[in-house]
Amino acid sequence: MHTREGILEIIKELFESVPGNVISPELALEEKLAGLRIFDAPIAGFGSADDELFERYKDPKAIGPWFLTPREWFPEGNTVVSMFFPFTEEIRAGNRLQKDLPSGGWLHGRIEGQAWLTAFMKAFSERLSEDGTKSCVPLFDPRWQQVQAGKGIEGYDCINEKTFSSRWSERHAAFVCGLGTFGLSKGVITRKGMAGRFTSIIIPDRIEPDTRAYTGIYEWCVRCGACARRCPAEAITLEEGKDHNKCYAFQLKTGKLFYPRYGCGLCQTKVPCEARAPGLGQS
């Protein structure tokens, strides 16, 4: 059986040993980006696979009935481990200077960074397997599907052209596991901010869930509106929050400009919640 300390040690070891957490000189969009580290060390949170919030996410006002709970993904699963990998200062700094399009470093972080996270999670799952422990990474499961602009998953009456969702949400898992609350831009604000990437794994070990240091969905967001002012797609407003389809359309535009990369992240940089949680009163 794995303990909390044992899982955290595996995460630490793999973060330091899985290769690729840098922008390679061969792929660097600019010479100055070559060799930059993409992610800082992650923070992790633990949640119960039976937390009632997972079932509540099936409500169309939350995610939708297509959402699969941890038990549906992995019946033997008892604990969800959510991880947040903050982008390094070097990656964030370049994007702070941008006004209309993402920086080269951010594009690398979004694509090469995600590729590294995939390798990290594969190594994580394999390490557990070596110990005789089965696990489930929803992102690797063939049942994982997206709804984009109302298309992707059939058979649900509540899906419409505004629906932008999936069968598993890394952000919502992070909320359950105590990592943070949502912000106006619909990203999750952790104590390390929101500029980074989330991932998760479901394991059979019973580990005491983390106590959530919040009760409200948006508790760590101070509604300053900085992300709305930064959004080049005008997809975020104080009144309506975030329009995911406007954001997605803008990212498709960046995909044409920077193929094979895409991204934006302006709402996550040069904002108070870039690398901290303003609602926690951090300085």
> What tokens does 109 get?
């972080």
Residue with tokens 């598993």: 168
246 φ, ψ (degrees, to nearest 5): -65, -40
Q: How far is CA 189 from the centre of its chain?
A: 10
Per residue in 209-239, pLDDT (tens digit) is 999 999 999 999 999 999 999 999 999 999 9
At a CB cut-off of 8 Å and minimum separation 6, what does 150 contact?
159, 160, 161, 162, 163
Angle at 197 between CA 162 and CA 132, to 5 degrees: 110
Angle at 94 between CA 23 and CA 190, to 5 degrees: 90
Per residue in 54-103, pLDDT (tens digit) is 999 999 999 999 999 999 999 999 999 999 999 999 999 999 999 999 99
Residue 181 near residue 237 (C-beta atoms within 8 A): no
What pLDDT is attached to residue 281? 59
Give CA separation, 251 vs 84, 97, 247, 264, in Å: 22, 18, 6, 7
Q: What is the pTM of this model?
A: 0.95
What pLDDT is attached to residue 283? 37
> What tokens does 19 get?
């290769």
Q: What is the dihedral of CA 125, 131, 134, 138, to 10 degrees?
A: -20
Q: Which of 174, 214, 169, 176 is nearest to 194 (CA)?
A: 174
What pLDDT is attached to residue 162? 86
Q: How much is the average pLDDT of 275-282?
A: 83
Q: Spell out a b/e string for 93-104, using b for 16 or more CB atoms within 10 Å of the CB, else e.
A: ebbbebeebbbb
Mean pLDDT, the chain, integer:
96
Q: What is the dihedral of CA 57, 61, 66, 69, to 10 degrees?
A: 0
Per residue in 231-263, pLDDT (tens digit) is 999 999 999 999 999 999 999 999 999 999 999
What pLDDT is attached to residue 282? 47
Residue 137 near residue 201 (C-beta atoms within 8 A): yes
Task: Say if residue 143 is exposed, middle or buried (CB neighbours under 10 Å; 0-12, 13-18, 19+).
Answer: exposed
The rounded percent of the chain whose pLDDT value lies above 70 is 99
Residue with tokens 């008892």: 78
Sign of CA pseudo-dihedral 142, 147, 151, 153: positive
Q: How much is the average pLDDT of 115-144?
A: 97
